[in-house]
Amino acid sequence: MIKIQENVLLERYTTLRIGGAAKYFIEVYSIEELKEALHYAKDNALTYYVIAGGSDLLISDEGLSGLIIKLSLQGLTLEDARIIVASGTSLQKLVDYTIEHGLAGIEKLNNIPGSVGGAVYGNAGAFGQTISDKLIRVRVLVGDKEKYLSKQDLEFDYRESVLKNHKDWIITEVEFEMGMGDRELLRKTASEVLETRKQKYALGIKCPGSFFKNLLINRLPIELQKDIPKDYFGKVPAWWFLEQVGAKGATRGQIKISDHHANLYINQGGGTAADFFALAKEYKDKVKDRFGVDLEPEVQLVGFKEEL
Ligand SMILES: Cc1cc2nc3c(=O)[nH]c(=O)nc-3n(C[C@H](O)[C@H](O)[C@H](O)COP(=O)(O)OP(=O)(O)OC[C@H]3O[C@@H](n4cnc5c(N)ncnc54)[C@H](O)[C@@H]3O)c2cc1C
């Protein structure tokens, strides 16, 4: 039986600790509850938006007049090298589990916050690995119908999946076919990754990860490619462009761009979505003016009237 709450502040549910209130809010723990929540939205003519770990969200200060559905479906089963995971399971739990079982292929995703479903939605990745590498298929709920989508159906690309074009497709379960690996080696890789990540993300940092997507080198104009210092897995980091236009250390209200990383926007405490948006826009515009490049947010913007 679902419990409907009213006027729930969403800042509690984002790693950035920003976000106004949702008029209605439901946390669901099973597919049945998810179906009930969708019926509630339909019966009451409410728009709805699903969230999970809230680690890739910038929610406006005004919040949402509709319904927020927080996905907390949990579970993990293993058969040979095939893993079936409920979408609300934390990605870290899955990464830890695979390493413990000597299963290779997602160990470099160590320390990425959020859920497995959220990771699939945006094809999360790090250090050359992505969540889609070992993915076989996902189970989605569309209205009150369930279906499976194969890896091919999901049209994965850099930080992209077909789900971004189908906001009413909700992932409930994800299936992976893992490779076999050496447990000690997997542990070593994961801890090396963790050490590198600690340099970017201080403990307890209030942020949504990198804000803008990196750019794929082969999609940039040739004349620009020669100025780029280094190839990061076929990409040019967004921070490089942002750094050239002086983003490092810039502030607006309580939002600060890291002194060490020009694509990392931090809430120093009590920051607003309006200030975040304005600061992001300021430097996006500067990059466009100087390089003619359009930076695109990797983070999902929710409840804004204007596009970034
Ligand atoms: C400190 C930090 C470091 C990070 N590092 C990385 C990194 O290295 N690589 C990387 O790729 N990302 C990184 N991120 C971003 C983020 O962790 C990932 O994008 C994560 O996978 C998002 O999952 P989530 O559950 O938090 O999604 P949420 O933020 O809750 O939601 C994000 C989007 O996914 C949709 N969504 C969520 N669950 C489902 C579902 N089950 N079905 C359909 N749609 C769904 C939501 O509607 C929303 O549009 C980082 C974030 C932080 C805070």
Give the tens place of pLDDT for each residue, 141-155. 999 899 999 999 999
Looking at residue 217, what is its pLDDT?
A: 84
pLDDT at position 18 is: 98
As given in the structure block, the two tokens for residue 308 are 């970034």
Contact criterion met (CB below 8 Å) for 86 and 76: yes
Ordered by where they begin, the domains of the chain are 5-71 (3.30.43.10), 76-186 (3.30.465.10), 202-302 (3.90.78.10)
Query: What's the average model confidence in pLDDT over 26-52?
Result: 97
Å from CA of 261 to ligand 1 middle: 20
Instruction: Give yes or no: 210 in active site.
Output: yes
Percent of the chain with pLDDT over 70: 99
pLDDT score at 231:
67
Is 298 catalytic? The answer is: yes
Work out which ligand 1 atom sits closest to the CA atom of 16. Answer: 53
pLDDT number for residue 220: 84
pLDDT score, position 296: 96
pLDDT at 230: 67
Q: What is the pTM of this model?
A: 0.96
Q: Is pLDDT at 228 greater than 80 in this prediction? A: no
What was the pLDDT predicted at 5? 98
Q: Taking 70 as the threshold, does the pLDDT of residue 215 lie above it?
A: yes
In the predicted structure, residue 212 carries a pLDDT above the cut 90: yes
Please say if the pLDDT value at position 221 is more than 90: no
Q: How far does residue 216's CA lie from ligand 1's centre (Å)? A: 20
C-alpha of residue 223 to centroid of ligand 1, in Å? 34
CA distances from 228 to 156, 280, 287 (A): 26, 22, 14
* Residue 159 annotated as catalytic: yes
Q: What is the mean pLDDT of residues 60-71?
A: 97
163 CB less than 6 Å from ligand 1? yes
